[in-house]
Structure 1
């Protein structure tokens, strides 16, 4: 009622518009205030959601074949082996740049040393094969090695390595921590492995002959041990699982000379083998299966002769004699011994028979020498004429006899 009385009458259209605008302004301010309140509430909710999403946005999982290391403000989170997150999850971390997640593969990695000691082309045919034989090797282009006998060779090696994620170094640090601090990435790891392997291969090949190298007798285990020693000193957290040489040969410019040497060595080995077989065969024919023992005894006896030690000389002679007469001695020596033994037996028997005959004739001679002499002449004559090679010719009395005996100048007939 009072409101109606208090309202002043509008005298013009302008007054009417002004009054209406005041009411609309108040209403607009109220609407704006309400809208801002709602907007701020939504903004708070949105910021809260964003904050939650932000803090939980770095939840991560570690795939198989990897381990993860969490770095917070540049410092590794965790002590020793606990700093490595094994495959699985989920793991919580603050968003970058607060936390930094480093994933490292734990599977076996491979490095092929192709360009180092072969050629820079991706082919198994060395560059020097296409070049004149009079040209030398170009350092840095035709990779090569020098053997212990100063020969040039080429080869390709394959190095397998991996990360020791569940072990500790000699200082008690985790191998993963050593890898992060001293290596940093698998790209750097490959380069370190390559450089260390090259130095190790050069060292081992320099102690290997060219014949051993070409035949594949390369001490890859020694190369592996040397690489492992260097990696341990560098605290890389890496370990080498295998080292193998896939190709090994000599340059084409040296093939002809190498083949000539190889053939000469083969012929030498063949000649030595032939001579050894001939020696063994000859000694076996000479002394039978006991020839080696007899030969050793003879050598010992010859050494004692040079030392002029009579006691040792006699002892060595008795040993050699015992072996010489042993049952194991056979061959020509055994045959000669048997023949000598037989001849000895026959000689003894003949000597005994002669002695017995002499004793018998001596008894007769003492009794009647003339009769014995006549009887002996008769026996000898009978023995002569009874021989199948003796011919008897009877000539009439008074005839001249001419005998052609040959070489008459040297024969005088009385």
Structure 2
């Protein structure tokens, strides 16, 4: 194994144009149909296609380091299993409820998902934004406990009591329509490395008939995956973030200029790890190795090449035991320093701030992995993974990159904000990774 891949311990070193919703577009087309018989016929056919067409979806031996000196020291890998939920009762997977909401106020009909209601007005002042948010509060179901979300805890326990070798979480607060081939690939490749694991997707949009159809190819192969509408008030109850949520719901704070769903995703991942323990990952990874043997770990996004100390962490992968004390510190920091105007402030920058502040506290035993473990390619260079090699030098780079990843990486972060629209070209690093690490492998060349 390359010496570049090292495992770092906290105790050792811390250093406007919105898309139009289908509903509104359908209304505009219908309004024009009456003006022209020809347009009426064409438009009617187009509307039917537009509404009902669904896109088919189908052990590393690493080192640790001394926090005060930064010296790298040999250390065995910990493989203690992760913590699980409390009060669990074994059930059969085929008894799990179909992920469909029957609450009229929450039901997402086929092809009529609305645009994000939490995108604030462009260039609004703080006062204007707060007034806008107060008007929006009644329609923000995600901030409430309702008939469906109150089943959250029971459904989680039903899933995780089916002989799961590991508990995985993902959060999806966008529409089911936007859960595309790349997101599906993350779930698919997870089961290629951990076929007996259980994946929970916290998502109200995927907790529908449409979401069930998207995940059905995995269910048909016996994989344990379930989309569940999250109960945010339940998740933060009796945590430092409970008072923060009360203030937000009371309209007493500035939600910020960054869409609130981004910040809620940051909060949900911390709270769900605290309540249940397990492995949290974003939906833009390819899994290369089983993560279930890791414990109380997070990854560095960048390191100082001279000192080898991390300069930034990233919460896109977090692995923690249930009720781990550092998760409480994360939730305290979230509630105390929330800033809705800065992207990343409540996410990757938050975990960096907290772990920097507890560097000398021997109570916390956390492993910090170097970039190659979870983020072997940074967001600037990610596009190169999608390109077909054109020269002999390109081919050598592709071979070397694949060899390094196979040896030193658990997962590969794809930086979807940067790569979502990139086409996967044949013989590219991405194409070869997918061929080796997927079960279903459908539509992989679609962006």
Q: Which has the higher contact order (CA 8 A, sep 6+)?
A: 2
Name the structure with the higher helix share. 1
Same fold (TM over 0.5): no
Per the normalisation by structure 1, the TM-score is 0.18
**Which has the larger Rg?**
1
